[in-house]
Amino acid sequence: MTESAWVTLRRRLVESYDELRILLTRRLGSEDLARETLHETWLRLDRVDDVSVMRNPDAYLARVALNLATDRQRFETRRARKSDVNAVLDDIVDEAPDQAEELESRRDLKMFEAAIWELSERRRAILIAARLDQEPHQKIAERLGISKRMVQIELKYALQHCKSRLERK
């Protein structure tokens, strides 16, 4: 491309920048992507070898920018699809625990059951109602004939007891 053609194209890009940005923003759905595409258009002007583009430089610039926008959309779509697939693959985890994990889980469960049975009947009832049955503290208090604060205290002690038993492994 001749020096004057390169200068003319770049000058026309600067002059029609706002119009092209609006066109690309509508096409891409993002002003940032439109600006990036126009920047890439500016860089691509160094590669123009055909002097015939000078017959209609505005049409040429719009075509280059729209082609780059289309390429960008295709790339983003492919990247989105690939990231969606990767996200799904990352979420797929071997749900089956290995033998060591299964044995440890069973041991922890037995220790937890033993810790629960070490609790007083009231603490055990509060723990089961609050944590397993998701019963509100006020409802537990009314059923047991104690204050809501007492339910909270008993639950705290029950949880501390179970935690200390499990930490002893």
CATH of segment(s) 1-83? 1.10.1740
- DSSP string for residues in 19-52: HHHHHHHHHHS-HHHHHHHHHHHHHHGGG---GG
| pLDDT tens profile 39-74 | 888 887 766 555 555 677 778 878 888 888 888 777
pLDDT tens for each residue of 98-133: 788 888 888 888 888 888 899 999 999 999 899 888
Q: What is the pLDDT of residue 92?
A: 58
CB 37 within 8 A of CB 23: no
For residue 95, pLDDT over 70 is answered with no
pTM of the model: 0.42
